[in-house]
Structure 1
Amino acid sequence: MPTTKALLFGRRRDRAVGLVVGFAGVVALALVAAFVAESVGATTATALTDRLLPLLVFYAPGPLAAAGAYARCGGPACLAVGVVPALVLGGFVLLGTLVGVPGVNGGNPAIGDVTVSFAAIGVTSAFVGYCAGVTAVLAADVLGFGSADSDE
């Protein structure tokens, strides 16, 4: 029961907060760097926009949620990792529109659809990763090399 409760609700709140906030910081930093590089015409803009951002938005939530489940951060924190890219993108567009940053167009109605799509993809990926992490924890506990008795 302690393992199940730790997997569902989390036992390590500081790690859970660090997981979500840290990932949000990385996504925000990559988004700002890609925007700045694209604005100044740097050659790294292509690498950032074509490789790093899709990696963070589409592929990273699953493995991060699996790692969070294995570290017993809890289901809510692991699923929140999936929503982080959409929230960061939406916040970036909202802030850029309010401040009046050229090249950031929040008046486009498609940006809401893109944000919702990012959230749906991210939450789906995070859910699959969370399930994989829970499976890994339970398998490790059954095989005897898990940390079910550890309260760390």
Structure 2
Amino acid sequence: MNSAFRTGMSFGVTSAVITTLGMIVGLNSGTHSKMVVVGGILMIAIADAFSDSLGIHLSEEARERHSKKRVWESTIFTFLFKFVFALTFLIPILLLDLSLAVKVNIVWGMLLLGGLSYYIAKKKNAAPWKVVTEHLVIAVVVIIATNFLGNWIAGFG
């Protein structure tokens, strides 16, 4: 697996999980509207995938270590991974009751993030439990924060 693919995969999947879960939990707690949550996921899949891929593009260019081809490969892989994995969170939302779908998506996101973290830890010969725990704790903080934020915003309505 080449480094551009790894960059796109690791950044794209991580961003898809953290951002999409935060959006789902926050919008659900603030609105309890399936339509609003679906809209949020679609916005992330498109706008945030472009934003993240441009961020990777600029970051890779600024490092001046990679060829133009490698920079573009990282950009494209980041977009594709973010886009595709963000869209996977739509499936439970469309098929299940919203409350259950949010819980299913949290489990799905934690499995994705945990699996990716485990892969990264093994690749770096690091202790998997430390890497996985660190990344899952960050995801839990995002979920808790966006839940509180959604509830707080709902109080204004």
- Higher helix content, 1 or 2: 2
What is the TM-score of this pair, normalised by structure 2? Answer: 0.38
State the TM-score, normalized to the length of structure 1.
Answer: 0.39
- Rg larger in 1 or in 2? 1
